């Protein structure tokens, strides 16, 4: 706590204009709508502010938690006693650039830009390749860190470069091939790099055809996923050779509840907040699901959703 007080003091003095929030309710920043307060949150709007925030925190041995759109996140009911950083301002921007080599346009996006906004913007500019991402409610930084994917597409496939801030608050660029992308993880998953910008190469196509593909995927999502309730998407990783939702369904666990948390009746892979669910409710439900699936199928489920305490 003393270190956080010192951090707050240094950030107030050293990063003038930086937005700082004390005891910020995390339920406002997660798609689950669950989570107690973060002791200290910074919302840098420029690269200078973000670099100052990271350098200062790491100098004081405070490990910041990088928050995206909170769509793969469960935060403890007691909140998080640490330091949370969320990108704002210029990090939410999306720009189109002519490619210097062959005239093929490149798309840059700040780490805090929403993936849905990025794919809709690409559609408007007549660029194909990100249709799969239009219904993923994450930020660009979170999606790259998690290598988000759906319907056969993954964010890593269209990426050229990623720009991060490292532990010294210095900028570093990674080619997509250097990011160790794998199923729902990357070199950035360990928390040592803050993804602040990304560059994508997309193919030109007819905006109407791109929109039609996006509409089709949206319809598929609406039909299969419980989008009417707050959640963090798929609760579990896909176990090798299986589908988590199919195993949970097979064990008869659809509709199972713990407090306000429920295994979705529509999609067994989702845990939904039916109203007033706590983090403890969700974790208890996850415990029961894991136990029953292991007993009945021999498969050990692993949580995909990150827990912040």
Ligand X SMILES: Cc1cc2nc3c(=O)[nH]c(=O)nc-3n(C[C@H](O)[C@H](O)[C@H](O)COP(=O)(O)OP(=O)(O)OC[C@H]3O[C@@H](n4cnc5c(N)ncnc54)[C@H](O)[C@@H]3O)c2cc1C
Strand 37-43 versus strand 80-86 pairing type: parallel
Applying CB under 6 A, among 150, 244, 245, 293 the residue interacting with ligand X is: 150
Is residue 139 a contact point for ligand X (CB under 6 A)? yes
Query: Among residues 184, 201, 238, 292, which one is catalytic?
Result: 184
Site for ligand X contains 73 (CB under 6 A): yes
The contact pattern for ligand X, residues 178-197, with x = CB under 6 A and - = no contact, is ----------x-----xx--
Known catalytic residue at 184:
yes
CB of 146 to ligand X, least distance (A): 4
Q: Give the residue from 309, 287, 270 showing the smallest Cα distance to 31.
A: 270
DSSP 3-state of 81: strand
Tell whether residue 231 is a contact of ligand X (CB under 6 A).
Answer: yes
- C-alpha 117/C-alpha 94 separation (Å) is 9
* Binding status of residue 136 toward ligand X by CB under 6 A: yes
Q: CA-to-CA distance for 62 and 225, rounded, in angstroms? A: 38
Sign of the torsion formed by the C-alpha atoms of 108, 111, 113 and 119: positive
Closer to ligand X by CB, 181 or 188: give it: 188
Instruction: Output 215 or 291, the one with its CB closest to ligand X.
Output: 215
CA 164 to chain centre: 16
∠ CA(115), CA(102), CA(150), 5° rounding? 25
d(CA 221, CA 229): 13
CA distance 145 to 155: 10
Of the listed pieces 45-53, 138-146, 241-249, 257-265, which binds ligand X according to CB under 6 A? 138-146
Please confirm, yes or no, whether 234 is among the known catalytic residues.
Answer: yes
Count, residues in the chain: 309
Question: Would you say 144 and 175 are in contact if contact means Cβ atoms under 8 Å apart?
Answer: no
- Of 44 and 56, the one with the shorter C-beta distance to ligand X is 44
Would residue 92 show up in a list of annotated catalytic residues for this protein? no
Residue 82 interacts with ligand X (CB under 6 A): yes or no: no
Residue window 109-128: x/- pattern of binding to ligand X, with contact defined by CB under 6 A: --x-----------------
What are the tokens at 192?
A: 């040592």
> Which residue among 27, 56, 69, 262 contacts ligand X (CB under 6 A)?
69
Using DSSP's 3-state secondary structure scheme, residue 172 falls into strand
- Kindly tell me which residue out of 35, 44, 138, 269 binds ligand X, with binding defined by CB under 6 A: 138
Interface with ligand X (CB under 6 A): 31, 65-73, 111, 136-139, 141-143, 145-146, 148-150, 188, 194-195, 225, 227, 231-233, 306
């Amino acid at each position: 706590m003393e270190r956080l007080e010192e951090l707050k003091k240094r950030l107030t003095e050293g990063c003038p204009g930086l937005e700082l929030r004390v005891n910020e309710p995390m339920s406002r920043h997660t798609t689950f709508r669950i989570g107690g307060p973060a002791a200290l949150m910074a919302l840098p709007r420029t690269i200078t502010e973000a670099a100052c925030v990271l350098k200062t925190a790491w100098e004081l041995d405070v490990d910041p938690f990088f928050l995206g759109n909170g769509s793969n996140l469960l935060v403890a009911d007691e909140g998080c006693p640490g330091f949370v950083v969320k990108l704002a301002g210029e990090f939410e921007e999306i720009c189109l650039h002519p490619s210097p080599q062959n005239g093929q346009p490149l798309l840059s996006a700040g780490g805090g830009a929403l993936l849905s906004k990025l794919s809709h913007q690409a559609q408007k500019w007549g660029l194909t390749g990100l249709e799969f991402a239009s219904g993923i409610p994450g930020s660009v930084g979170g999606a790259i860190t998690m290598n988000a994917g759906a319907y056969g597409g993954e964010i890593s496939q269209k990426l050229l470069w990623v720009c991060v801030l490292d532990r010294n608050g210095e900028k570093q660029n990674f080619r997509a091939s250097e990011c160790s992308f794998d199923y729902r993880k990357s070199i950035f998953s360990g928390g040592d790099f803050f993804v602040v910008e990304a560059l994508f190469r997309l193919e030109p196509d007819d905006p109407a055809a791109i929109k039609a593909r996006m509409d089709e995927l949206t319809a598929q999502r609406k039909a299969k996923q419980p989008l009417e309730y707050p959640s963090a998407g798929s609760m579990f990783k896909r176990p090798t050779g299986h589908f988590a939702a199919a195993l949970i369904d097979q064990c008869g666990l659809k509709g199972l509840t713990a407090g306000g948390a429920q295994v979705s009746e529509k999609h067994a892979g989702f845990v939904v907040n039916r109203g007033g669910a706590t983090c403890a409710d969700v974790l208890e439900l996850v415990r029961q699901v894991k136990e029953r699936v292991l007993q009945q199928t021999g498969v050990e489920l692993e949580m995909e959703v990150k827990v912040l305490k």
